Chain A
Amino acid sequence: MITLKNGLPGGVYPTYERGEKVALFIPCYIDQFFPQIAEATAGILKDLGIPIVFPEGQTCCGQPAFNSGYWDEAARVVRHFCDVFRPFPFIVCPSGSCTAMCRVFFEQVDPDDRIVSVGRRVFELSEFLVNILGITDLGARFPHKVTLHSGCHGRRELGILDQPIALLQNVKELVYCELPNIEECCGFGGTFSVKMPGTSIAMGETKAANVVRSGAEVVTSVDISCLMHVGGILKRNPQTRHIRAMHIAEVLVQR
């Protein structure tokens, strides 16, 4: 097998000391359209006894502009992000894609160490739980068939794949259904989804068909942006409308 890189210098996760505050970074679309995911994230951390803060100055990580080629415009947002989050040693974010932006791509926007070092302190929720806290069982119970969509950014830039699977497999009464062709892109790709909608939707339909083939009633992921796209396709079709798209944090708070 290939070893997945995690975007950290030397590949080493830092050690979390009990009682250290953790800052929540809630990506803009989650804040505005999926607040329940952020609530679930906060809830999970709180139940683990971790003091959390939500710096209210936060806005966005700059990814949309960066991926569209507007690096100067992205830089302004990235600097704002870093100003807001600089005091925190641990920043947890319920999105693989936004975490990849912070950890891997901040450097290209602005190689200043004051920017890069903040970006490298951002961790996606499942990797924070598994790799940093060493926790895979959150005591959740969810009696459903669930499959996992693995977002490309999280997997290829940060090595996120085993962590969400481990978390799901420890959920009581949850039946984990493997997704055929799990490594394939769902076709969301940010602005790609509206710049090449035909290809994007065709890719999403393939993904939706694989979700159906997995036999799951729920498709989950560490990235709600992918799920907004795949879920949007599943909802379109009366035959697949019953399949729910849920962020992994929402699954992990079920009791």
Chain B
Amino acid sequence: MTSQGLHLSGAPFLRQENKGLAEPHGSRALGESAERSSKHNRQVTLSVPYWEQWREEAHAVKRFAIHHLDQLLVEFERNAVGRGATVLWAKDAEEANRHVLDIVQKHQVKTVVKSKSMVTEEMELNHVLASVGVRALETDLGEYLVQLAGQRPVHIVTPALHLSAEDVGRLFAEKLNEPFTSEHEKLTDIARRHLREEYLRADMGISGVNFALADTGSICIIENEGNAGLSISAPPVHVAVMGMEKVIPSIRYLPLFLNLLARSGTGQKLTTYTHLVHGVTPGRHFYIIILDNGRSNVLRDPASRSSLFCIRCGACLNACPVYRRTGGWAYGWVYPGPIGAIITPHLVGMEDAGKLPFASSLCGACGEVCPVKIDIPHQLVHLRYRAVNSPSPVRSPLERLVWKAWSWAMASPLRYRLAMSVVRWGVRFAKYLPWHPAQLGAWTRGRELPEVPGYTFRSWWRHRGAELSREPATPGKKSNPVTQEVSA
């Protein structure tokens, strides 16, 4: 994995040297919470009679935005600068970090409060800040917990989804010397008490961006806890970091996206807070960093382009039966779940993340819930094609040979029959083997093999087929002579 990926607290899908995907088990709490949210949010979204129209519309707006990214970003920059913001561009994480460090130096920043931002996770920003002696504190409750535990977020919306209230109580007892409790309200109180001080002390606030509005030059940040509002307004310097795909053409479309995002993300009609930052008040400083970090690679690939429409609602994670069982860390990088499986290979490269598109049963639950209608399941298959055809951990000359042989066999009925009789004997014989190798063993680990019947359908047809294919006595249309020829 590239330098930016080295942080991986564990990249089990990717780490394994062998071809299979390792399958870590996520915590029970994670699976259950994800399922619960998914069901709840689904109910909320489907209760909107025009949900499908909203999705279509959002898809169209995002499509326009991504296809006009060059113009919209420049328009956004112009308008944001007009309101007193400083806009900085970054090709990759390293350049973005350099920008942040320059700002830190310029304003002599010692402590930073951060509101939730996945893009700063991409940049490994907290580590970079720590390396120059700046303390960055996460203020989103989930992020705070994860940071306190020395872990990584398991989810893009609910970073501590894997922790139960008991886990949190134990964590607070251990790290903050608080008496153990597992009551939600008491736990929130403890966190609030520890965090409040920090906002006032911090020299700089860092946030992400949910939407950048080209026509007004403003950014929109949504949240539920009030921590983002404090992080961006209490300290004298605010740095907002955004992936370059976050821009939408106009503030007119914002209500549409707010409606979709809140419902898909948390099942709310609207998040508790919606902040619109229009420029800066005198005496304060406001920076916006626009980051590419591999997004141009996605833009270049027509089959994957729509994955840039993502508004990071997390619905596809919650809906994904694989994510629910493996948890977020299994995906090895910042973005887990179905969206992670389709963007990570582009953002960090197929060489490192080529296995991710295979971590799916292709059930399609993700595509069904995505509020901006990204065709995730079809993109997964497309990326599999790309992965086996480019330098990646799944490219294997042996496997290619197997599929070549398969396709040779399947392109002729005679070879098909021969190949299949080998398979039939194999399955029949497997019963008597004390141990099953490779894929066969993978199957029988938890499942019985089917019984092998003594005949095939085509052999049966040869004896009985004529009778079935006979024209019924009813006077109908003349049958097609071509068909008769073929069926003969």
Please list the residues of chain A having a beta carbon within 8 angstroms of any beta carbon in chain B: 1-3, 17-21, 23, 26, 28, 30-36, 38-39, 42-43, 46, 49-60, 62, 64-71, 73-74, 76-77, 79-80, 84, 87-89, 105, 108, 152-153, 156-157, 183-185, 187-190, 192-205, 228-229, 231-233, 235-236
Contact = CB atoms under 8 A, between A and B. Distances in A.
Contacts of A89: 480
A2 B363 contact: no
Contacts of A38: 457, 460
Contacts of B326: 199
A199 B322 contact: yes
Interface residues of B, number: 82
A192 B362 contact: yes
Contact of A87 (B46, B468, B474, B483): B483
B391 interface: no
A205 to B, nearest CB: 7
Nearest to B359: A196
B385 A69 contact: yes
A49 B472 CA distance: 6
**Chain A interface, >50% SS class:** helix
B431 interface: no
Nearest to A197: B442
A229 B447 contact: yes
B372 to A, nearest CB: 15
B443 interface: yes
B322 A21 contact: no
Nearest to B471: A51
A53 B456 contact: no
Interface string B101-143: 0000000000000000000000000000000000000000000
B413 A39 contact: no
B163 to A, nearest CB: 21
B416 interface: yes
A1 to B, nearest CB: 7
Nearest to A19: B476
Given A2-B368, A80-B410, A236 B448 contact: yes
B230 interface: no
B66 interface: no
A153 to B, nearest CB: 8
Contacts of B357: 69
Contact of A33 (B358, B377, B453): B453
A67 to B, nearest CB: 6
A77 B448 contact: no
Contact of B21 (A80, A188, A193, A195): A195
10 contacts: A20-B479, A28-B416, A33-B453, A51-B470, A54-B457, A65-B407, A69-B388, A70-B407, A199-B23, A200-B361
A87 B443 contact: no
Closest 3 pairs (CB-CB, A-B): A19-B476, A189-B361, A232-B447
B39 to A, nearest CB: 9
A60 B416 contact: yes
